[in-house]
């Protein structure tokens, strides 16, 4: 069937053509599920860069380490200026954090949020790729009920301040939750928020749904296994071959706990009326050392978990319940942090040791501190420079003898 074409005498677009392209644009725009979503995550793999330590490499060395590992997504728990300065021009996308201790002040008024952004975010743009602001960490479900009350007002004030500055297209407002927000999570289809949490969670989800922000969950199979090693199969927690579990309601099979935790979050969101919201894992990891009563905290298990998790994320596949949405996760953590309080495991989640060497091998290269050797990044940069120089010389010679 031939299409009739319309032309105006001066070859300018006709009303029919303009109308046709307008509708095409609208269809493309609204058919894309992420058309209005701020992209705070590139790919599927990221890390948490905690710094409760006095012996870890400086931020400039951390940039070298991350670029060598090809890690493009990073979360920090504050907005440290030395870190944000070091990340300038690195191409690494970073989520900064507003600590729990600042939320009450941030909830008072938009001016407080504006002052914080003008001091800790705006001066570093656009060179440093700040892609998100995390409002506190693990607020709902914790013991400080006053923070439950101020979380949503603080988030709204930060968002409104970003909007006034014209930054909401590039910077996402978000918050991460712990497993404590769930009243049930097994089997995955039984995932549901606690009743006392739900009255705070629903308005928060409504706001995040409006601004197209995902649901962030800190999901640790290690903590689940540690709390009940007699009834949880270690292989199920480590992505190793096992019989798995069967969810009779959805008729889905799970061969690893990580996927089950993500789908429990999806089930809880669905029950709360937000079934279309994406789930992103803001923290997950495995301790390489622990106290005698911390089951599973070994170098061997940490390596297996993080190696298999990385391999699983690189496949860019979804979960059994949400197969079309690739799972994204930030690994906890980049370094072992020697000053963290709590049990021994808290100080031993690092993919890298304090000196920048790898804690165990999962495919990353640590920092090379010997003067006789250069880092992988330096080597690549040198080769790139040589290649550019040779290309330039060749071009000059061709011009000269042409």
* Residues with catalytic roles: 138, 283
Q: At what angle do helices 145-164 and 195-210 cross, to 10 degrees?
A: 0
Q: Which residues contact 355 (CB under 8 A, 6 or more apart)?
A: 55, 57, 367, 369
The rounded distance, in Å, linking the Cα atoms of 226 and 230 is 9
Query: Token digits for 26?
Result: 């609208």
- CA torsion 240→241→243→245, rounded to 10°? 40
The rounded distance, in Å, linking the Cα atoms of 318 and 307 is 18
Q: At what angle do helices 145-164 and 110-120 cross, to 10 degrees?
A: 70
What single string gives the DSSP state of each residue in 311-328?
A: HHHHTT---SSSTTS---
Cis peptide bond upstream of 126, omega within 30? yes
Strand partners, 332: 48
Tell how strand 192-193 and strand 172-177 pair up.
unpaired
Element (H, E) at 189: none
The rounded distance, in Å, linking the Cα atoms of 61 and 270 is 43
Identify the DSSP state of 3.
Answer: P
Other Cβ atoms less than 10 A from the Cβ of 33: the count is 12
- Map residue 174 onto helix, strand or coil: strand
């Amino acid at each position: 069937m031939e299409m009739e074409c319309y032309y105006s005498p001066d070859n300018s677009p006709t009303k029919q053509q303009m109308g046709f392209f307008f509708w095409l644009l609208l269809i493309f725009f609204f058919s894309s599920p992420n058309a209005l979503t701020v992209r705070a995550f590139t790919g599927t793999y990221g890390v948490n860069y905690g710094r409760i330590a006095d012996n870890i490499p400086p931020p400039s060395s951390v940039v070298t380490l991350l670029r060598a590992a090809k890690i493009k997504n990073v979360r920090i728990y504050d907005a440290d200026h030395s870190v944000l300065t070091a990340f300038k021009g690195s191409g690494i996308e970073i989520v900064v954090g507003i600590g729990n201790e600042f939320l009450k002040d941030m909830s008072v008024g938009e001016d407080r949020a504006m002052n914080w952004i003008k001091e800790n975010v705006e001066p570093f743009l656009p060179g440093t790729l700040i892609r998100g602001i995390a409002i506190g960490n693990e607020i709902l479900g914790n013991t400080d009920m006053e923070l439950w009350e101020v979380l949503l007002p603080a988030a709204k004030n930060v968002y409104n301040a970003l909007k006034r500055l014209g930054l909401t297209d590039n910077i996402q407002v978000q918050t991460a939750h712990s497993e404590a927000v769930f009243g049930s999570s097994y089997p995955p289809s039984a995932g549901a928020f606690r009743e006392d949490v739900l009255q705070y969670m629903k308005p928060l989800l409504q706001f995040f749904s409006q601004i197209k922000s995902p649901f962030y969950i800190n999901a640790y199979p290690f903590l689940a296994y540690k709390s009940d090693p007699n009834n949880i199969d270690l292989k199920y927690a480590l992505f190793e071959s096992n019989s798995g579990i069967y969810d009779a309601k959805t008729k889905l099979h799970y061969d690893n706990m990580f996927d089950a935790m993500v789908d429990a979050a999806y089930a809880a969101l669905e029950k709360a009326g937000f079934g279309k919201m994406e789930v992103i894992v803001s923290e997950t990891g495995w301790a390489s050392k622990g106290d005698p009563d911390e089951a599973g905290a070994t170098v061997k298990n940490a390596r297996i978990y993080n190696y298999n998790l990385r391999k699983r994320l690189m496949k860019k596949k979804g979960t059994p319940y949400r197969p079309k949405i690739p799972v994204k996760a930030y690994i906890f953590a980049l370094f072992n942090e020697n000053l963290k309080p709590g049990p021994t495991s808290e100080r031993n989640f690092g993919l890298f040791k304090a000196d920048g060497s790898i804690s165990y091998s999962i495919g990353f290269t640590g920092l090379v501190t010997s003067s006789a050797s250069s880092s992988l990044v330096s080597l690549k940069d040198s080769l790139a420079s040589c290649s550019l120089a040779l290309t330039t010389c060749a071009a000059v010679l061709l011009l000269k003898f042409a």
